[in-house]
Structure 1
């Protein structure tokens, strides 16, 4: 997992180009849970700033952390003025300043589980909110999906990131809601899903796969082969399912 977590910098520009952004509905869902728009927010693992822009452009003062230098450089190209960017992993952010909202967009699973929730709580104002959101991108057509699975099988059994706490995918509450529900630091844990279907070209879908960690850690010759095989079985245009699973929780006042 550590190797996969550190693999993205080489593809920072592709990550910005091919990864889907986040819809306004996500911002509305977070603020509805909070009861108002947060004044300040800390983002964990901001990447190239897909989620940073969503919040910053709606008046939230965002501090965006990103440990990879190349990703942070790409991030700084795209965020609005006023966003503070820090080259830091979540574990390196020192307690002191607190925020009304701390959030992670498709990045929390790369953080160290040891002391994760006590560190998170220390960064939040009493009653502040933690938000986590993300989800895999998959092909909507089962036949095309199976063809891609077969094309990559020699190189990869799966390109998914496994659940950090082993929660089966069929369980109603998924990670990190499972951990949040057990944590003494958080309460009022909620999970919801924003449904999305998007259409992209075969080239753009292959470009998206080029930013997925399971492919990034393959040796370059194998990576070229697997992408060549996948492109051969893709139609010119593909429909993808890009649902966003949202987890929200509130820091306990008494902690």
Structure 2
């Protein structure tokens, strides 16, 4: 796992404070797709447990895996005591006797290694079980404000977003990981949905959110502080944000 993927532990409390959670519509979407009760779930890269809480609230028994100890410690402060936690990266998980009705990943699948990704994922699922991946960028909706932030950021970073891992252009109807799932021999019935979401944040909270984004965490601390001060100075008092959640769903083939 890359150093960038493991950069969040240093800001675990900020991650919990400033990262948006997930709406209940997400659980409804996954449950409807499953078409049968989801009793057990395995979460890959659980972070501070924002998605964990969503599923446990629906009485799903969740095992949350996370390779960063600081993130896992923060998660334990916010989830029910019966949530089992495993300090491991996806690649270190070994399928055992237990298989799950659902395996899901919240804004973390791009940190996993491509080689063997889908055979490993399928091995964690019951035949007919559901895989779900969801997430999406948080973007300024005002073009003038977005342009001003890009201009300030330019000397430090060309972009703060992570490009599609398989090179799928953003204008394509089916986005990654749906593109990979469609090619996988292990999964079928691949679906992509979008849950539209608009948020309002104070300028300070938006900068707080940026301070949890890996592109900025890689900067030296002095450069981070200087950039965040410059961004906050050019922002209006509050900012409007687009935070749509792109959801990919697929079913483990029963004949494998």
TM-score by length of 2: 0.98
Contact 1:66 1:88 in 2 (8 A): yes
Tell me the distance in 2 between the aligned counterparts of 1:2 and 1:174. 23
Who is 1:210 aligned against?
211
Cα displacement string for residues 55-103 of structure 1 (whole angstroms, at most 9, x for unaligned residues)? 0111000000000000000000000121101100001111112100000
Alpha-carbon offset, residue 6 of structure 1: 1.2
The reply on whether 1:41 has 2:33 as its aligned counterpart is no
Tell me the distance in 1 between the aligned counterparts of 2:227 and 2:175. 30
Who is 1:73 aligned against?
73
Taking only aligned residues, the RMSD between alpha carbons, in angstroms, comes to: 0.8
Who is 2:239 aligned against?
238
The reply on whether 1:145 has 2:146 as its aligned counterpart is yes
Cα displacement string for residues 157-188 of structure 1 (whole angstroms, at most 9, x for unaligned residues)? 00001111010011000000000000000000
Tell me the distance in 2 between the aligned counterparts of 1:162 and 1:6. 18
Tell me the distance in 1 between the aligned counterparts of 2:205 and 2:185. 43
Who is 2:20 aligned against?
20
Who is 2:184 aligned against?
183
Who is 1:171 aligned against?
172
Who is 1:88 aligned against?
88
Which secondary structure does the structure 2 equivalent of 1:81 belong to? Answer: coil
Which secondary structure does the structure 2 equivalent of 1:166 belong to? Answer: coil
Tell me the distance in 2 between the aligned counterparts of 1:69 and 1:3. 14
Tell me the distance in 1 between the aligned counterparts of 2:99 and 2:175. 27
Contact 1:57 1:80 in 2 (8 A): no
The reply on whether 1:51 has 2:51 as its aligned counterpart is yes
Alpha-carbon offset, residue 36 of structure 1: 3.0
Unaligned runs of 5+ in 2: none
Which secondary structure does the structure 2 equivalent of 1:5 belong to? Answer: coil
Tell me the distance in 1 between the aligned counterparts of 2:126 and 2:18. 35
Cα displacement string for residues 196-235 of structure 1 (whole angstroms, at most 9, x for unaligned residues)? 0010100000000000000001011111111111111100
Who is 1:197 aligned against?
198
Which secondary structure does the structure 1 equivalent of 2:4 belong to? Answer: helix
Which secondary structure does the structure 2 equivalent of 1:78 belong to? Answer: coil
Which secondary structure does the structure 1 equivalent of 2:219 belong to? Answer: coil
Alpha-carbon offset, residue 37 of structure 1: 3.3
User: Hey, which bits of structure 1, 4+ residues long, moved more than 3 A?
Assistant: none
Who is 2:106 aligned against?
105
Unaligned runs of 5+ in 1: none
Cα displacement string for residues 108-133 of structure 1 (whole angstroms, at most 9, x for unaligned residues)? 00001110000000000000000000
Who is 1:254 aligned against?
255
